[in-house]
A and B are shown apart, each in its own frame.
Chain A
Amino acid sequence: MTDSKYFTTTKKGEIFELKAELNSDKKEKKKEAVKKVIASMTVGKDVSALFPDVVNCMQTDNLELKKLVYLYLMNYAKSQPDMAIMAVNTFVKDCEDPNPLIRALAVRTMGCIRVDKITEYLCEPLRKCLKDEDPYVRKTAAVCVAKLHDINAQLVEDQGFLDTLKDLISDSNPMVVANAVAALSEIAESHPNSNLLDLNPQTINKLLTALNECTEWGQIFILDCLANYTPRDDRESQSICERVTPRLSHANSAVVLSAVKVLMKFMEMLPKDLDYYGTLLKKLAPPLVTLLSAEPELQYVALRNINLIVQKRPEILKHEMKVFFVKYNDPIYVKLEKLDIMIRLASQANIAQVLAELKEYATEVDVDFVRKAVRAIGRCAIKVEQSAERCVSTLLDLIQTKVNYVVQEAIVVIKDIFRKYPNKYESVIATLCENLDSLDEPEARAAMIWIVGEYAERIDNADELLESFLEGFHDESTQVQLQLLTAIVKLFLKKPTETQELVQQVLSLATQDSDNPDLRDRGYIYWRLLSTDPVAAKEVVLAEKPLISEETDLIEPTLLDELICHIGTLASVYHKPPSAFVEGSRGVQHKRLPARAGSGESAESPEVGQSGTSEAPPAVIPSQGDLLGDLLNLDLAPATTTVPSVQPSMQMGAMDLLGGGLDSLPGVSHRTEMQSPQPSSDYSERELGGDIGGSPSMGAALGAPAAMPAALSNAPAVGGGLGDLFDLGGGVGMPTGFYVAPKTLFLPAMKAKGLEISGTFARRGGIIQMDLSLTNKAMSVMTDFAIQFNRNSFGLAPAGPLQVLTPLTPNQTIDVSLPLGTTGPVMKMEPLNNLQVAVKNNIDVFYFSCQYPLSLLFVEDGKMERQVFLATWKDIPNDNEAQFQIKDVHLNSDAASNKLQGSNIFTIAKRTVDAQDMLYQSIKLTNGIWVLAEMRVQTGNPNYTLSIKCRAPEVSQFVYQCYELVLKN
């Protein structure tokens, strides 16, 4: 056979010749001619002019010729609908042929001809074929219903084909069942709400039986369909899982992946303490590993899916690190995916091996791969603290290679390591600075500039370095410009004397010569800050930065759950929901994982243990480039107030005056404990370097205590956005933030020679603040304010001086927020929350005492892991348990838990037994004491029962008071 000759006819007048040949009497010649036509069609020539002649050849005994003519018809019928009618008769006749192969061929082809008039004629033959005695015809007819539905959905419904199709699910032949399932699934996708695929335990049973008998492809159709089913309870779920697991040993990877999908989905419903749950987890690992010995393209699909599975259930593959080691001959797409998974699986146990591998990879040839490997080393450092030192030294070795892109990549990750472990590795800055000139990528330049700005005080020639960048300011990319602006402002605040010119230069470049609104805005904000209040500027710009998260590039949990429902499909390869790449209605439905079965538990009770999967998932890093979004959605950065050097005299004065009974003032700078509420939401290591200095400070500016009335500064805790930025008055914070009691009178004027002090306490974004109103009821001006605390139970101490910057004139009231630290001297007070305060002004020293709510000391990371909770609860002796009644609370348990969360009382789990909700809660105090609580809420009963367990039982009483306070306000 030398059919290739058909591809080579290119002479002119071809169509005429073909026409003649097609009309030839000789069968052989006809067939040759049709072959030529098909060959021309394949290479893209228009042979539609031959339509009538080709269709004339249709009436033939020769099956091969017939198939060729059909092929032609399928291609051109749409462009010549009137002529296509000529073929109908033959089709109808063929559907009655005694040979089942011909009957099937006819119905198969007819379904592919998208001409209305033909579809009308299709209905009768199709109806017959759906009930044909031969399974081959039935399985073909089943698919034909889907074809017809694609052309004319209404017709299919009107003709009742859907019911016939449903009946085929009970067909005796497994392949008919499989095709019927495939067709129904497809039709159901375009009718999201129809109850077409009416999956019930009976049909599921039929499908599972057919699963054992049909072809590999049929098994895929059935498994994919099963994955859409939601079992009624955990028992049904388990029994389906049991019948699906054997598929994990199938030679066809797609069967395996579809089975994995079903198992991953149904597993959600199984109680975790079930033995079978553990067995199932163990069974999943080997087949996933085996997928990696498939052909590279399938490996790629498998790896993309494993990436999802590892995020959803890390326990499955945690011991299989080695199989993800990159092989020298792997295609690049396999290498990159493996690297991703390696980082996800990296842990303290295997970090040494991983690092050794990554070091090898960093010397490979492919630039992308090497970059990713270098980046991975940095991510290991951030993820596994014990390895940080080795990672840093490996990175330094790599910088020594002087390979341009390696150096740049290394600098970008080192910036993140600095962020994660402050004051630990700064000794390498000198080495980094040596490579300043070789940086040509924006990200690396931005990272380097950030480092220079952040550590300006340690780099002697920081000003020269930054100045050198400034020369080409307008040619830099935005992230570099933003970063440069911030860095120079930082430098100015650190070394004001030498850098005044520089800062003016950059501010004018940013505000006057730039078209970029982000840059201009940031420039103006700095400018205004610097010109109005340099001290505040310092607090803002040099504020301590929130920690960066360990895990990066995580897929957002709801998307992850959706993608788990799409294992094996394109969505899982792209890591995007189908709606992102599929047009029209298909696939737009969002799939969801089933909820765990059980007695109305909205979360698991602590008894169920098992950490890892259902814990609050780490928040996700915003994607790069979303600068504005980042800028606006920042958390309130915990503002650390350093003692401003501007007012040393006052400090000294306070010392002199208060020296007696009180301890000396906090030395240099007391930092409040840093707990950014959602550490991971701020930065990824890939994130714009530009944000690092500037934007958290914006948040801090809002919460900055100094010059803002207390009532207003309550607002900006989380993401108030631009509104907050400029509309300070109307700021809206978290809906349920920390409850701040109204101010009470601490010191009456008559006791303090005219000075009246009232105040309250608040905790905002991890910072404890004492909000004070100072009123001058005397006749003369008051100045030189200072404050000091006596030793107290939790070491509360002012973290900065009392910022009363202007003299207090008669009848004037000033509102001041005093940040407090918890690192002061400790002495047990009676009552526990008693605080003795001394305030000094130019007139005298005054003493008063007040009581603070204990919730002031509840830290933001007080959410205990379930298992730990369970263990701790058991561990604490029962004698330490205290019970309280909280009366008259008209909240349901969820609202209560929400409200409490605002005060850092975290609900870890909720269990419902007999209409009584039991909330398990944990609290951590600044001094590390854990308080565990169980709150019982009975529906309809406004009285709550609270049991508190703590190793230091004396706090229970005060914790209870906080509950009261929070719940009732």
Chain B
Amino acid sequence: MIGGLFIYNHKGEVLISRVYRDDIGRNAVDAFRVNVIHARQQVRSPVTNIARTSFFHVKRSNIWLAAVTKQNVNAAMVFEFLYKMCDVMTAYFGKISEENIKNNFVLIYELLDEILDFGYPQNSETGALKTFITQQGIKGQHQTKEEQSQITSQVTGQIGWRREGIKYRRNELFLDVLESVNLLMSPQGQVLSAHVSGRVVMKSYLSGMPECKFGMNDKIVIDKQGKGGTTDDAGKSGKQSIAIDDCTFHQCVRLSKFDSERSISFIPPDGEYELMRYRTTKDIILPFRVIPLVREVGRTKLEVKVVIKSNFKPSLLAQKIEVRIPTPLNTSGVQVICMKGKAKYKASENAIVWKIKRMAGMKESQISAEIELLPTNDKKKWARPPISMNFEVPFAPSGLKVRYLKVFESKLNYSDHDVIKWVRYIGRSGIYETRC
């Protein structure tokens, strides 16, 4: 298990050091600093073995978090724990920075004592932790016995992510379907790889212990229902359903139920959390198509023409569109002409950045640029990095639709109809690249 946990600033100074196991000596702190933080070469692996001691590290801005062990630990668990640790710290005091860590070091020690026992991760749900790690130390003494046992049963309980007795005057929930669409296209317009990774983020403000059921146009579910219903129905819904390659759920979702019935049922945490993640690769709506044309005119000039086409309903508007056209390192000057938006050559980034605020569906726009090159004797050819694109569209490129989210709370007197529900779809570009 984890033998110790260290936090360093960018200079390699220790900000937090907590050792859980006897086999980790004080020199481990220095070993990591010398061999990883101060190493001359770039870090080649997130796991480093120094003198039979293994170090796992992640970096957040310029802060290093390192877990140390001498045993054959579950490596995936250690990284998951480090991420979780970052989440917890962020939830308590915001951005992870040297300043914040120094200001909250007592709190961090207290957290580390609680969420890691002898190197074994314990309950690390912020919701639960906040009920008893409060930084108002005296509180413990003022709690009633009921309060105390409520805390402990929540921390250890089956529903560790939600406390009892939550009350709202207005029961409300928000569902955000957030997708990032990834594309790698050949210069000829052939899709080399495309996939959507999506998340369903829920903000719930619901009283009591509500039982929820979430439904979407999952092909497997729709097909199953289609068999029971009329053929007409099946035909209609079949078109709109999507094939999900794989999905993962927040720990509140009953996985065995999903596995057997493919229904998504859960008692949600209070406030914002990520209900599920999913991935699709079939029938993806690619919101934009990029058509590049690069011509080398002699040794000192490049002509670049890029056309982008929007491919969705004309009534919808895409926003924050940005096309990034890489330029060679020996570029001396660039002239750009674009029909729409603004384009600029950014020498520091070796790229022409073309920004368009808004663009409706089924439209097309074009940019052309002349790139002057300095003659070089560098034999190595320019690698021609791909043209990348950023955008945001108000629909889900995977085609995912929320069909329902039902809320049941038998003990309190509100029903599914009384809950105000909001659904929003946002599709963003992930790594959206076209080779040129």
| Residues of A participating in the B interface, judged by any CB pair closer than 8 Å | 1-4, 6-7, 35, 38-39, 42-44, 61-65, 67-68, 70-71, 75, 98-102, 108, 111-112, 114, 134-137, 139-140, 143-144, 146-147, 150, 173-176, 179, 182, 186, 212-217, 220-221, 224, 243, 245-247, 249-254, 256-258, 286-287, 289-290, 293, 295-298, 300-302, 322-323, 325, 327-329, 332-333, 353, 360, 363-365, 401-403, 566, 568-574, 578, 581-583, 586-587
Contacts and interface: CB of A to CB of B under 8 A. Distances in A.
A329 B247 CA distance: 24
A247 B76 CA distance: 15
B189 to A, nearest CB: 15
Nearest to B385: A328
Interface in B145-178: 145, 148-149, 151-153, 155-158, 160
B249 interface: yes
Most central of A3, A38, A43, A568 by chain B CB within 10 Å: A3
Given A64-B135, A249-B259, A136 B72 contact: no
Contacts of A111: 118
A2 to B, nearest CB: 6
Contacts of B120: 143, 179, 182, 217, 221
B408 interface: no
14 contacts: A3-B103, A3-B105, A67-B113, A139-B156, A140-B117, A176-B156, A179-B117, A250-B251, A251-B249, A252-B251, A300-B47, A333-B46, A569-B72, A570-B75
Contact of A401 (B109, B110, B160, B379): B379
A296 B72 contact: no
B360 interface: no
A960 B45 CA distance: 59
Nearest to B44: A333
A150 B22 contact: yes
B52 A293 contact: no
Contacts of A364: 383
A61 B138 CA distance: 7
A254 B379 CA distance: 46
Nearest to A217: B121
Given A572-B75, A582-B72, 15 more contacts: A1-B104, A3-B102, A3-B104, A42-B16, A63-B137, A101-B152, A143-B118, A215-B160, A217-B123, A224-B74, A246-B255, A249-B246, A300-B45, A323-B193, A570-B73
A516 to B, nearest CB: 31
A738 B292 CA distance: 66
Contact of A290 (B123, B153, B246): B246
B108 to A, nearest CB: 10
Contacts of B43: 333
Which of under 10, 10 to 19, 20 to 34, or 35 or more describes the interface residues of B?
35 or more
Interface stretch (B77-85, B201-209, B214-222, B410-418): B77-85
B89 to A, nearest CB: 14
A100 B148 contact: yes
A100 B149 CA distance: 7
B156 A173 contact: yes
Nearest to B383: A363
Contacts of A67: 109-110, 113
B386 A297 contact: no
Contacts of A574: 47, 49
A298 B57 CA distance: 11
B387 to A, nearest CB: 11
Contacts of A403: 379-380
Contacts of A4: 99, 102-103, 105
Contacts of A328: 385-386, 431, 433
B140 A568 contact: no
B245 interface: yes
B102 A7 contact: yes
A933 B380 CA distance: 61
Contacts of A6: 105
B122 A186 contact: no
Contact of B109 (A71, A98, A289, A363): A71
B409 interface: no
Nearest to B47: A573
B106 A68 contact: yes
A302 B72 CA distance: 16
Contacts of A297: 46, 56-58, 79, 82
Contacts of B56: 297
B103 A2 contact: yes
Contacts of A147: 118
A99 B143 contact: yes
B290 interface: no
A43 B15 CA distance: 7
**Of listed B117, B121, B274, residue having the most chain A CB within 10 A:** B117
B106 A135 contact: no
B42 interface: yes
B117 A108 contact: yes
B257 to A, nearest CB: 8
A214 B155 CA distance: 11
Contacts of B135: 1, 64
Nearest to A588: B72
Contacts of B236: none
B310 interface: no
A297 B52 CA distance: 20
A492 B256 CA distance: 73
Contacts of A401: 379-381
B32 to A, nearest CB: 13
Contact of A296 (B46, B103, B139): B46
A65 B381 contact: no
B290 to A, nearest CB: 15
A101 B140 contact: yes
Given A1-B104, A44-B26, A583 B52 contact: yes
B46 to A, nearest CB: 4
B265 interface: no
Contacts of B72: 566, 569-571, 578, 581-582, 586-587
Nearest to B59: A297
Interface in B103-135: 103-106, 109-110, 113, 117-118, 120-125, 132, 135
Contact of B279 (A65, A102, A290, A353): A290
Nearest to A144: B118
Contacts of B143: 99
B103 to A, nearest CB: 5
B155 to A, nearest CB: 6
Nearest to B98: A4
A813 B379 CA distance: 70
B141 interface: yes
Contacts of B255: 212, 246-247, 249-250
Contacts of A144: 118
Task: Kindly list the 3 A-B residue pairs having the minimum CB-CB distance in the complex, ordered from nearest.
Answer: A64-B137, A286-B246, A4-B102
Contact of B106 (A64, A102, A243, A302): A64
B42 A252 contact: no
A365 B132 CA distance: 51
A703 B157 CA distance: 73
Contact of A298 (B52, B79, B113, B383): B79
Interface string B182-205: 001000000011010100000000
Nearest to A34: B106
Contact of B74 (A43, A101, A174, A254): A254
A99 B140 contact: yes
Contact of A220 (B77, B123, B274, B386): B77
Contacts of A587: 71-72
B429 interface: no
Nearest to B57: A297
Given A42-B16, A215-B160, A287 B138 contact: no
Given A4-B99, A101-B132, A293-B197, A301 B251 contact: no
A143 B1 CA distance: 12
Nearest to A302: B76
B1 A186 contact: yes
Contacts of A583: 23, 52, 70
